[in-house]
Structures are given as structure tokens and as C-alpha cells.
């Protein structure tokens, strides 16, 4: 689909950048903060790349004024950050730590002073360790009340100051990495437990949205989902069906619950047949059906490509032992009961797409496909809450010439503009990430930011902030409201 001229970005488009508490703040045990499951997980040797932790991260906690001033200089219209639950409520469901709340109050005030709209993510994976210990974390229904309490504290504290709220970040990623693939805490490898925990998160999310609508009637709230379009490898109808199955499995399983208030029929039936579906009570169904997000946050990095399942169409590739940190290429070597994918689809590499240094496919057209698919299916305004390129940037004479990042972002902004021209209702775009930060499993080498941070996997160094070439490029994009995306 080609246009001679693309529509302009909406006048109040939120040009933003994103981050998350554990990946930026540091100060992991300061001012009354309790430990999170990520603090403990990263402290155990062998769990993260070179045993990197967020103990200091990029020390955003102590560089707040400097960091927000740089956001102002960049001209950001929005900054998406997450709140560390255990900084605000150290034991997860008890007393509020006023020093913790004060930190976020200061951040929000500084953002407003710099003309930046705060976008608050309530849960970006750093569960209070106390809740893991007391209840067993997301596997317990008691988590719904604990999350309710935490949300109530935030809504009452910041409901007047913040319009845009994100409930949970990439539920699909943290439940599968935490409960199926054991790459995240609590390091479980049991798909039935994954679906059970995921169901509790759905309940907590729905309950939080309902509470928000009571307490913050003028605000807007929604979850952020890690979406990838699913392509068939060929025009063989068996591959097309496989891609459709993968879409249900990777996307609809979550998005249908968020936006339609119930699980998709096809996949629920498959999981029930395999006896790995969650227990869903009548009250659960009512709760899920009662909550409706105001917008949907979309995190886009890449999609996946699929061919017919390996039972109907076995081939040599099917028996390969894949081991990848890319969830789309993870091929389970487990029993079928633990691997619902096996009868449904087979994930393969896409021959048309280049890859990043970390093996993630680069697919700007897929961004447009994603936005169109989600918008058409769920008819909610969309907010791109993450998109960006991780690379091992190098400093040359005090500068960072990240032309590859500019190219990546240019291509994605262009296709986003095309999606707007197609008719997609888009509120804003938060690049991942504002500055370099800790990558959960890849340490400090995988950099995403517009601002370079002088630290690496071996230590903190000066923690100096240095704007990269992409900083000045994005500054110009924002100043022209996306009229001039082309690198100068």
C-alpha cells in the first residue's frame, strides 16, 4: 500500500521515551525500599549476563534533576517510567514508605516543569520479594488484593497529576519467562503454572482498571503488550493456518482478555484438552468482562514467522534443538502436554528480515501490520509504549555516532506515519529507551538510549550522561512534530 503523501502526526502527539524502575533507578536498598524479586534474582550468581544487577543501574535515583533536564532539552512530550512497588510499599501489601512516594512525586513535578507528560507504568516486573515469600507471588489469588492496595496508593497520590497510566508491562513476557522458561524470577518451568499465574495477573489488571475508573475519572489507563505480527512462511494454507494459531497463542490469548473481557475460544479449548488451562470461576468471568482499558499500550520490536506444525508436516528442522532468548524461536523440547505449540505451529526464521547484533529481526513494515491488526480488531486508541534498537554503541572522541539507531527509528516512524494515514488512532510513541539502561538479561552492553551512560558490565565508571547523535535527530523530529523524520 503506497501513498503519495502521508498524513501529519496529530497536533498533540506524545513524542516520548520509556524506561523501567529496575533498569534505571539503582538505590536498591535506600530510603526504606524493600527488596524486589529482581534484586534477589540478580544477586544469585549465574542468573543474569555477567551477573549484572540493578543495584546501581544508571543511578537515576541520584541523577533525577540532570536526567529530567535532558528530557526537557530533548523536547520530550512524554516520559514513560515505572514505579518500583517495593520502594512505595516495602512489604508489598502493608505500610506505605513515604520516602518512596516522595521520589516519584519529585520526578512527576520535574517532568511537568520541563513540559513532559508523565506516563506511569504500575508494574514492570519488579514484584516485592515479600509477596513472593508470603503468597508465592502471582500464583496466589491474594495478589489481586495486594495489587489493588498498591494501585489505590498510586491513584490517590498521583491521580490528579498524571493522565496516562499503564497497568502491567508485557504480561506475555514476564509470565512466560518467569514460569515457563525460567529466564526471569521465580524461575519456574511449568506451563500449567504459567497459565495459572497469568490468569491471576489478568484478574489483578481488570480489578485495577475498574478501581482507576472510580478514583481517576479523568485519566486514561491500559496495559502495555509486547505484540508481534505472525507471518506464514509460505502461501501454503497449512502455513497460513499455523500463523493464525500462533497469533492466537502469542497475541489473542492476552489481548482478547484485556479488550474483549474473555479468553479466545480456540486456544482456551486447546489448553483445556491438554489440561493446562487456568481455573476460571464464574466470578472471574464477571470481573474480566467488567473492565475495559481506555487505550492499549503496544511494545513493538518484531514479529514471528510460522509454518505448519511438526506433527502434520514433520521435517528435519522440526527436530532441531532450538535454544534462543527470542521467545518466538523458543522451541520446546518437552512433552506435548508442556508444549501446546507442537500441534499448532512451528516457529522459523524469516528469510527476508535482517537482524540486530542480538539476533532480533528488524521489521519496520511489521510495525504497520501490528498497529493495523490491533486497531482493527480491538478498536481502542493505541499508544506505542516501546520500540527501539539495542546495540553495543562505542564512544569516539566523546561522541556516539549511532547512525544505525537513527536509521532504525526513521524506518519505524515512517511506517507508523503510514499506519496513521491508514486510519489507526495513535496517541503517542515512546522509544525504548530515553538513556542507556540495564537490559534484564543482557547487562549494560545492549544500549537503547538517546543518551549514553558511562558505565558497563564491569562497573559504574563516571555515570556521565552523553547525548548521542540520535538525541539530536529525535530532538528535530519532535520539534517538527514528525514532519522531518529523515536524518539530517
- Nearest approach in angstroms of CB 52 to ligand BGP is 11
β-strand partners of 326: none
Among 9, 13, 17, 20, binds ligand BGP (CB under 6 A): 20
> Of 33, 77, 87, 446, which one interacts with ligand BGP (CB under 6 A)?
446
Q: Is 405 in the site for ligand BGP (CB under 6 A)?
A: no
Binding to ligand BGP (CB under 6 A) within 278-297 occurs at none
Rounded Cα distance between 114 and 109, Å, is 9
Euclidean distance between CA atoms 369 and 372, whole angstroms? 5
Query: Which residue, 59 or 239, has its beta carbon nearer to ligand BGP?
Result: 59
Subset of residues 420 to 439 that bind ligand BGP, contact rule: CB under 6 A? 432, 439
Q: How far is the CB of 114 from ligand BGP (least distance, A)?
A: 23
Q: Which is nearer to ligand BGP, 49 or 266 (CB)?
A: 49
Q: Which is nearer to ligand BGP, 135 or 408 (CB)?
A: 408
User: Which of 390, 428, 449, 482 touches ligand BGP by CB under 6 A?
Assistant: 390
| Site membership for ligand BGP, residue 327 (CB under 6 A) | no
Shortest distance, position 2 Cβ to ligand BGP, whole Å? 31
Contact between 335 and 373 under an 8 Å Cβ cutoff? The reply is: no
Please tell me whether residue 173 binds ligand BGP under the rule CB under 6 A. Answer: yes
* Residue 335 CB, nearest approach to ligand BGP (Å): 28
Give how many residues touch ligand BGP by CB under 6 A.
14
- Residue 169 found at the interface with ligand BGP (CB under 6 A): yes
Alpha carbon distance 55, 51 (integer Å)? 11
Q: Which of 25, 117, 361, 386 is catalytic?
A: 386
The minimum distance between CB 286 and ligand BGP, in angstroms, equals 30
Closest-CA residue to 58 (of 358, 430, 448): 448
Can 317 be counted among the known catalytic residues? no
| Residue 199 binds to ligand BGP (criterion: CB under 6 A) | no
Q: Which is nearer to ligand BGP, 202 or 442 (CB)?
A: 442
- Taking CB under 6 A as the binding criterion, the range among 167-175, 346-354, 364-372, 466-474 that sits at the site for ligand BGP is 167-175
Per CB under 6 A, which of residues 448..477 are in contact with ligand BGP?
A: none
440 binds ligand BGP, rule: CB under 6 A: yes
Q: Which residue do the cell numbers 550522561 mark?
A: 465
- The nearest distance, CB 358 to ligand BGP, in angstroms, is 6
Q: Can residue 304 be called a binding residue for ligand BGP (CB under 6 A)?
A: no
- Told to check if 442 binds ligand BGP by CB under 6 A, we report yes
Which is nearer to ligand BGP, 87 or 445 (by Cβ)? Answer: 445
Of the pair 429, 440, the CB lying nearest ligand BGP is at 440
Which residue in the block uniquely carries the three cell numbers 527488596? 35
Residue nearest to ligand BGP (CB): 439
Is the backbone peptide bond immediately before 433 cis, with ω within 30 degrees of 0? yes
CB of 386 to ligand BGP, least distance (A): 6
By CB under 6 A, name the one of 26, 90, 226, 297 that touches ligand BGP.
Answer: 226
Residue with smaller CB distance to ligand BGP, 232 or 293: 293
Encoded one letter per residue, x for contact with ligand BGP by CB under 6 A and - for no contact, window 329-368 reads: ----------------------------------------
- Work out whether the CA dihedral 50, 51, 53, 56 comes out positive or negative: negative
Catalytic machinery residues: 386
Where along the sequence are the contacts to ligand BGP (CB under 6 A)? 20, 169-170, 173, 226, 299, 386, 390, 432, 439-442, 446
Amino acid at each position: 500500500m503506497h501513498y503519495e503523501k502521508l498524513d501529519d502526526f496529530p497536533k498533540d502527539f506524545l513524542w516520548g521515551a520509556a524506561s523501567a524502575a529496575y533498569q534505571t533507578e539503582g538505590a536498591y536498598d535506600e530510603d526504606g525500599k524493600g527488596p524486589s524479586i529482581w534484586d534477589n534474582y540478580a544477586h544469585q550468581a549465574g542468573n543474569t549476563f555477567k551477573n549484572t544487577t540493578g543495584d546501581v543501574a544508571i543511578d537515576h535515583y541520584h541523577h533525577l534533576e540532570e536526567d529530567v533536564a535532558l528530557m526537557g532539552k530533548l523536547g520530550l512530550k512524554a516520559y514513560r517510567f515505572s514505579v518500583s512497588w517495593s520502594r512505595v510499599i516495602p512489604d508489598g501489601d502493608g505500610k506505605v514508605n513515604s520516602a518512596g512516594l516522595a521520589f516519584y512525586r519529585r520526578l512527576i513535578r520535574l517532568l511537568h516543569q520541563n513540559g513532559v507528560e508523565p506516563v506511569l507504568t504500575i508494574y514492570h516486573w519488579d514484584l516485592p520479594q515479600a509477596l513472593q515469600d508470603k503468597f508465592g507471588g502471582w500464583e496466589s489469588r491474594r495478589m489481586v488484593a495486594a495489587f489493588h492496595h498498591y494501585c489505590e496508593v498510586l491513584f490517590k497520590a498521583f491521580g490528579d497529576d498524571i493522565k496516562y497510566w499503564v497497568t502491567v508491562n508485557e504480561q506475555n513476557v514476564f509470565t512466560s519467562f518467569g514460569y515457563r522458561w525460567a529466564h526471569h524470577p521465580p524461575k519456574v518451568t511449568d506451563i500449567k503454572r504459567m497459565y495459572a499465574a497469568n490468569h491471576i495477573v489478568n484478574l489483578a489488571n481488570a480489578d485495577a482498571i475498574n478501581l482507576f475508573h472510580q478514583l481517576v475519572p479523568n485519566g486514561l489507563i491500559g496495559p502495555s503488550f509486547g505484540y508481534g505480527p505472525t507471518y506464514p512462511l509460505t502461501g501454503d494454507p497449512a502455513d497460513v493456518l499455523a500463523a493464525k494459531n500462533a497469533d492466537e497463542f502469542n497475541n489473542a490469548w492476552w489481548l482478547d482478555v484485556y479488550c474483549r473481557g474473555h479468553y479466545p475460544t480456540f486456544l482456551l479449548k486447546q489448553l483445556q484438552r491438554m489440561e493446562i488451562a487456568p481455573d476460571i470461576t464464574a466470578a472471574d468471568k464477571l470481573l474480566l468482562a467488567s473492565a475495559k482499558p481506555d487505550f492499549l499500550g503496544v511494545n513493538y520490536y518484531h514479529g514471528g514467522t510460522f509454518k505448519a506444525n511438526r506433527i502434520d508436516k514433520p521435517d528435519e528442522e522440526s527436530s532441531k534443538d532450538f535454544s534462543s532468548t527470542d521467545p518466538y524461536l523458543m522451541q520446546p523440547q518437552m512433552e506435548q502436554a508442556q508444549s501446546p505449540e507442537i500441534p499448532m505451529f512451528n516457529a522459523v526464521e524469516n528469510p527476508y528480515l535482517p537482524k540486530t547484533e542480538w539476533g532480533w529481526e528488524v521489521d519496520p513494515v511489521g510495525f504497520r501490520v501490528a498497529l493495523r491488526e490491533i486497531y482493527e480488531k480491538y478498536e481502542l486508541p493505541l499508544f506505542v509504549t516501546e520500540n527501539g534498537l539495542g546495540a553495543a554503541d562505542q564512544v569516539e572522541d566523546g561522541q556516539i555516532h549511532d547512525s544505525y539507531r537513527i536509521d532504525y527509528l526513521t524506518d519505524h516512524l515512517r511506517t507508523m506515519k503510514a499506519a496513521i494515514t491508514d486510519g489507526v488512532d495513535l496517541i503517542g510513541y515512546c522509544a525504548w529507551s530515553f538513556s542507556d539502561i540495564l537490559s534484564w538479561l543482557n547487562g549494560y552492553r545492549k544500549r537503547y538510549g538517546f543518551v549514553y551512560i558511562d558505565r558497563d558490565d564491569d562497573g559504574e565508571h563516571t555515570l556521565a550522561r552523553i547525548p548521542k547523535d540520535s538525541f539530536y535527530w529525535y530532538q528535530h523530529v519532535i520539534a517538527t512534530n514528525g514532519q522531518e523524520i529523515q536524518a539530517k
